[in-house]
Amino acid sequence: MAQRETWATRTGFILAAVGSAVGLGNIWRFPFLVGQEGGAAFLVVYLLFVALIGFPAMLVEFVVGRRTNRNPVGALKELGGGVWQYLGWVFAATGFIILSYYSVVGGWVLRYVLIGLQGGYVGDIEGAGGQFVEAASGLDAVLGHAIFMAAVIAIVGFGIRRGIEFAVQVMVPAIILIAFGLAVYAFTLPGASEAYAFYLSPDVGEILANWTDILPAAAGQAFFTLSLGMGAMITYASYIGDDRNLAEDGLIIVGLDTLIAFTAGLIVFPIFFTGGVDPANTIGAGAIFISLAAALGDLSFGWLIGTVFFGTIAIAALSSAISLLEVVVSYLIDERGMERFTATAIVGTIIFVVGIPTALDLVFIDLYDLFANNILLVFGGLMVSIFVGWVISNVALDEIGRGVRNLGSWGDVWIWLVRIPVIVILFVTIYLGVFEYYEFLTGDFADWLGQNL
């Protein structure tokens, strides 16, 4: 059998993992969640969850991946035996579904780069809304989805070193630099101080009053943004060597991801406040495409800022999408002996087809997103945490200690964070997520079916 691929350098792995983590979750999802869930109050809970839940959960996946040097299905089979491999299947299915609509949103972003270049952001909310609906569903959206997916397939098809590692070395530094540049620009806008007040001064009363909304939203977001719960970090860690300190790498990755999300807020909110848009009414998924585009339409040089901003998001989305595809591809290579390029092309094409409905009608984005994000992702994270925290904790503690000079009692701190807080919070989150999905299925989605069938 051919030797399994590995990352060429430590930086290569870190950049790939940061590339996976930093994506639509940071720049698209995070600002609209902050807007909807009460500004700084949400930010505080989110930061807390990233540190207390997200970071330990990332190490859980690293340990499984590096220990086995296998894809998620193979890794769980090896460590836990028969039944646990089904969890690997859940991971693969989750990645499959997420990528199918993630790519559609990636296509919208590409479209908004073009709109910017043509100088075409409409300066009022209603017009911007019309522009979004036109760009987001229908043949154009299918085309954008196809282009985005083709790029993902091309990168993953070239393999770990020549494809993924090579691409992220250019993409990730670019994302970081441009994001900082845009934040500095946003600082000069007249709405900046109002924006900072909204974004940066938390109100404890607000957290206490709305915790049933804020908690699951913050936990779900912490998982999504760190690419947890579907085996992406298991897969990426399966290509690294034993000599590295997983906790140290994890800290850098979590730190950079959080920094970029935070910076996205520093970009988006000043633009909102300057354009007179209330962040609490940013129309959810349409936030950056409608509200932000409308605010951009009002700014001088808004088209240029918009082009750069959406261009950055496109790169960030691409470097995340490749990790979603790699999960499934690594399974086909490791367990089915398929050749990389064939595996990539076949899976990529099927994912493209599965995503088509979400490019035709926005209601399918919610149908896929709520299920994959609020249920499957959290379920996957919960199960792998139970597995590592309670079933194979000795192996896990041994693995986390490798490449570390002096672990001290940090290993125990980590395993106990996984055993109780991580599991409890994920359990509560999934419970609330199932209810929300039920409401969606019997509400908005049933209405849609009633009108269209």
Which residue type, as a one-letter code, is found at position 272?
A: F
Which residue number places its CB atom closest to ligand PHE? Answer: 25
Among 14, 16, 24, 295, binds ligand PHE (CB under 6 A): 24
* Residue 374 CA from chain centroid, whole number: 12
> CB 192 → ligand PHE: shortest distance, Å?
25
Q: How far is CA 316 from CA 287, 300, 393, in A?
A: 17, 26, 34
As a whole number of angstroms, the distance between CA 214 and CA 207 comes to: 7
DSSP tag of 260 = H
Q: Which is nearer to ligand PHE, 270 or 380 (CB)?
A: 380
Instruction: Please identify, among the stretches 22-30, 59-67, 76-84, 248-256, the one whose residues bind ligand PHE according to the rule CB under 6 A.
Output: 22-30
Q: Please list every residue from 209 through 228 that binds ligand PHE, using CB under 6 A.
A: 224-225, 227
> CB 378 → ligand PHE: shortest distance, Å?
12
Q: Which is nearer to ligand PHE, 103 or 131 (CB)?
A: 103
> CB 94 → ligand PHE: shortest distance, Å?
8
> CB 224 → ligand PHE: shortest distance, Å?
5
* Residue 313 CA from chain centroid, whole number: 12
Among 323, 344, 374, 385, binds ligand PHE (CB under 6 A): 323
Q: Is 324 near ligand PHE (CB under 6 A)? A: yes
Q: Up-side HSE of residue 437: CA atoms within 13 Å toward CB?
A: 18
Among 45, 136, 152, 232, binds ligand PHE (CB under 6 A): 232
* Burial per residue of 255-288, b for 16 or more beta-carbon CB atoms within 10 angstroms, e otherwise: ebbbbbbbbbbbbbbbbbbbbebebeebbebbbb
Q: Is 21 near ligand PHE (CB under 6 A)? A: yes
Q: Up-side HSE of residue 180: CA atoms within 13 Å toward CB?
A: 7
How many residues touch ligand PHE under the rule CB under 6 A: the total is 15
Handedness of CA 266, 271, 277, 283 (dihedral sign): negative
Q: Is 72 near ligand PHE (CB under 6 A)? A: no
Q: Is 31 near ligand PHE (CB under 6 A)? A: no
As a whole number of angstroms, the distance between CA 60 and CA 359 comes to: 34
Q: Which is nearer to ligand PHE, 182 or 233 (CB)?
A: 233
Q: Which is nearer to ligand PHE, 155 or 324 (CB)?
A: 324
DSSP tag of 202 = -
> CB 341 → ligand PHE: shortest distance, Å?
22
Instruction: Please identify, among the stretches 294-302, 306-314, 317-325, 350-358, the one whose residues bind ligand PHE according to the rule CB under 6 A.
Output: 317-325
Phi/psi at 337 (5° precision)? 65, 25
As a whole number of angstroms, the distance between CA 401 and CA 385 comes to: 18
Among 25, 250, 286, 311, binds ligand PHE (CB under 6 A): 25
Q: Is 23 near ligand PHE (CB under 6 A)? A: yes
Among 5, 26, 33, 91, binds ligand PHE (CB under 6 A): 26
- Spatial CA neighbour of 214 closest among 375, 39, 51: 39
Q: How far is CA 166 from CA 13, 16, 45, 158, in A?
A: 11, 9, 35, 10
> CB 63 → ligand PHE: shortest distance, Å?
18
Q: Is 319 near ligand PHE (CB under 6 A)? A: no
Q: Footprint of ligand PHE on this chain (CB under 6 A)?
A: 20-21, 23-26, 98, 224-225, 227, 230, 232, 320, 323-324
